[in-house]
Amino acid sequence: MAGRVSKPLPGIANVLGGYISTPSVAPAQEPPEKPKQESAGRAKKSRRQRARLGRPPGVNSTNRAPKEKATLRIDTELMAEYRDWSWDARCQLGELVERALVDYRKRNR
C-alpha cells in the first residue's frame, strides 16, 4: 500500500491517545540459553502421567439396579444445597437424590 499517508482515525485517536502515531521500540531480547549437555544418556526418563478415566476404584457397577433418567423441577436453593452436599460426600447429585428418596420411602411405609 505504497503512497498511503497514515491519518489518525478520529474515533481511535481519542481512545488510544498517542499510541497509534507514536512508534514503539521493541526491547532487545537475549537469545535463549542452550541446554547443558548431560552425561551419555539421561539418568531417568520421566514417565508422563495420564488422567484417570472411568469410575473410581472400588465402585462396582455390576451390582447396581438399572437406572432411569428423570427431569425434575426442584427449588433452586435446595438444589444448590444438594450440590454442595454431593461435593462433600464425593458422589453424584443423582446418588444423593436417590438416597433421599429411599430414606423417604422407608420412613413413610
List Cβ neighbours of 12 (8 Å cut-off, separation of 6 or more). 20
> Residue 8 — very low, low, confident or very high, per pLDDT cuts 50/70/90?
low
Q: Residues 41-86: pLDDT tens digits?
A: 555 666 777 776 766 666 666 677 888 898 989 899 988 888 888 8
- At residue 83, the 3 state secondary structure works out as helix
Rounded (5°) CA angle 62-65-61: 25
Output the pTM of the full model: 0.40
List Cβ neighbours of 41 (8 Å cut-off, separation of 6 or more). none
Query: Is it the case that residue 13 has pLDDT exceeding 60?
Result: no
| Residue 86 pLDDT | 80
Task: Calculate the CA 40 to chain-centre distance.
Answer: 40
List Cβ neighbours of 13 (8 Å cut-off, separation of 6 or more). 20, 21
